[in-house]
Amino acid sequence: MKNTVENNSRITSDTIAVIHQAGEEPCGVRVDVSLEDIEKTVDHIVQENLNTILALRYRTNTGEYIGHVRKYLSWADPKTVKSVIDAKLYELLGERTAADNVKPTKKKEKTAVEAVPSPSEEELINPYTIFSQPSQNLMVHTKVLFSDGSVLRYQNTKELLEKHLKVTGGKVFTRFPPEPNGYLHIGHAKAMFVDFGLAKDRGGCCYLRYDDTNPEAEKKEYINHIEDIVKWMGWEPFKNTYTSDYFQELYNFAVELIRTGHAYVDHQNAEEIKEYREKKVNSPWRDRPIAESLKLFDEMRRGMIEEGHATLRMKQDMQNDNYNMFDLIAYRIKFTSHPHAGEKWCIYPTYDYAHCIVDSLENITHSLCTLEFETRRASYYWLLHSLGLYMPHVWEYSRLNVTNTVMSKRKLNYIVTNKYVDGWDDPRLLTLAGLRRRGVTPTSINAFVKGLGITRSDGSMIHVSRLEHHIREELNITAPRTMVVLNPLKVVITNMEPGKVIEVDAKKWPNDPSASYKVPFSRVVYIEQSDFRKKDSKDYYGLALGKSVWLRYAFQIKCTNVVFADDGETVCEIHAEYDPESKTKLKGVLHWVPESSPGLEPLKVEVRLFEKLFNSENPAELKDGWLTDINQNSKVVVSDAYALTTIEDAVVGDTFQFERLGYFAVDKSSTPGKLVFNRTVTLRDSYGKRGK
């Protein structure tokens, strides 16, 4: 080609494209490149990189795209190319926002827990500005390289997009698609925030779709839980659907795939499939006649073939660099009743086959998922393209990983079924049911997720203290104050008459003096055992023999005597005198609980103190040793704590701040005779020390 070009001839962009396809570079010629040539090339490159541009917006590296243009148009004026790219970005993205002016941070070497850059002010106000409009789904979504050197650029035809927009009215349609094989965890809270949040922000619709393609692992209990927890998190689905609602359509599409030569019935077992995929070798049944595959697939549907003896596989590209193009399984035989579809089917579609088709059937505009699914994008679009179906815009974001816990459903299921914890709603778990039982609110969870932003970062580990910070922020405002003594030590006020009671005002809310409650100060009160020492020291502000402290909201007392048990070491009770007139400022201020009435014990309650379930920040890294990392002291039960009678009518879910101890919530195991409280979070906030 190079030899056929004469000097001083004019070469168009079309000619240059042919030269490049031939693997040659034009040289020794003068070329006039028109503005139209540049605009066409820029359009092509922008479409190829659309996902990156929509994610990074004006923070994208335009210099890289200028280089791509000049690779095709070597003689194009760089300034003109830059102007065209800038104009195209403006057309695509609109005005710059504050978020677009934030400089990207340099990537640091990965550690167990990484600092995650806080979203910009613009992103905090509206984190959904990064997503495209449904009308832009005409553009190239992705390109797939095949092992034979060909490239497919998948995009909707104008006709398909117009048909889709007519159905949706141009609105955003998303879906939250959990598999009902366990309880949802805090990672699903982020998925809900992205899926439901985007639809709500754009005035669109979000389906709650149960991805129920694996009947062996799914239960009605999990389906009910998901519906309940989505509502608790504050989200309202446009419609509840099941993948199984579309089983007939999915089956029909599978037949169509076989007819068009894009699928075949395979008889390899799981081990053989794995071996052949590792070697990138085609199945011996890959090229069987279409009619034969149609007959066998029908026999699979009618239950005429034993389980494990046949699968339907998509005919993709076994030599591809992407293992998710290695002829993925579309259908397998399972003689198992389905929790939603019943006994109708004995073949079930896989996630890889069903997910994208149902997205298309439900006219989803934005198919949003976490980054581990990014390599499946090729298969997603290959299948929709093969069937001639509308293609949603796929966008992946970083998954949420939090320290000192496990997020894998398999691991969660193991520790639940083997009773390492007390069920899916154990307050030590970061399941949403566990967090709810612990006293965490959905608004604080959503605030935590929003604060992280919706990014395509590498999924850094988020320290649990960041979540606790948001929990404290809310409970500090919403939880009324009260006093509870975990390990009571009896204090007898010797200079107070028996039977005498003085009511003192205690603050229910720290910033509202008018909101108070009465606490009866009597001859016998109780303080924490840890607030008394037999020997005093300069750095100790509690009570000791001969020392004075303040009782919160009440009076100053001075220890005058200590009563020991027979062993001469254990303190049974202490005697003290109160001073009703003293105004002296003291550093020691203790919480306390009086007798419920003279001569009667205070209200007894059970208090459960929870710590992190795992000692390591990332127990998943321990692989086979992760179970040995469970914190044996993650749950401490205090059976006979003393509380003020003002909380005796509390009901399940009520939250309080126990002064000096932390925030607590009434547990569902409470009985009419005894309240049980779970510690939601301590008072101390370590998040600020790590950096917000």
Q: Which residues are catalytic?
A: 179, 399, 409
Mutual angle of helices 464-478 and 442-452, in 10-degree steps: 140
- Quickly count: other Cβ atoms within 10 Å of residue 336's Cβ: 16
Cα distances (angstroms) measured from residue 298 to each of 312, 331, 347, 389: 11, 12, 10, 23
Element holding 491 (H helix, E strand): strand 488-493
CA 308 to the chain's CA centroid? 35
Query: Rounded distance, CA 429 to CA 464, Å?
Result: 12
Cα distances (angstroms) measured from residue 317 to each of 118, 140, 437: 41, 21, 48
**How is residue 341 annotated by DSSP?**
T
Q: Locate tokens 């399941």: which residue? A: 431
Query: Rounded distance, CA 276 to CA 493, Å?
Result: 83
Instruction: Judge whether 555 and 489 are in contact, CB under 8 Å.
Output: no
Query: Rounded distance, CA 312 to CA 354, Å?
Result: 13
Contacts of 217 (CB under 8 A, 6+ apart): 179, 181
Cα distances (angstroms) measured from residue 426 to each of 382, 402, 438, 687: 42, 17, 8, 24
Instruction: Judge whether 591 and 612 are in contact, CB under 8 Å.
Output: no
Query: Rounded distance, CA 638 to CA 640, Å?
Result: 6
Query: Rounded distance, CA 301 to CA 293, Å?
Result: 12
Query: Rounded distance, CA 661 to CA 593, Å?
Result: 14
Query: Rounded distance, CA 192 to CA 330, Å?
Result: 27
Query: Rounded distance, CA 363 to CA 392, Å?
Result: 7
Three-state DSSP state, 610: strand
Mutual angle of helices 247-259 and 290-301, in 10-degree steps: 160
Say if residue 473 is exposed, middle or buried (CB neighbours under 10 Å; 0-12, 13-18, 19+). Answer: middle
Query: Rounded distance, CA 211 to CA 157, Å?
Result: 28
Query: Rounded distance, CA 180 to CA 197, Å?
Result: 21
User: Hey, what are 515's tokens?
Assistant: 């909101």
**How is residue 212 annotated by DSSP?**
-
Q: Which of 163, 158, 193 is nearest to 176 (CA)?
A: 193
Radius of gyration of the chain (CA): 33
Residues 445, 447, 449: CA angle, nearest 5 degrees = 70
Instruction: Judge whether 29 and 7 are in contact, CB under 8 Å.
Output: yes
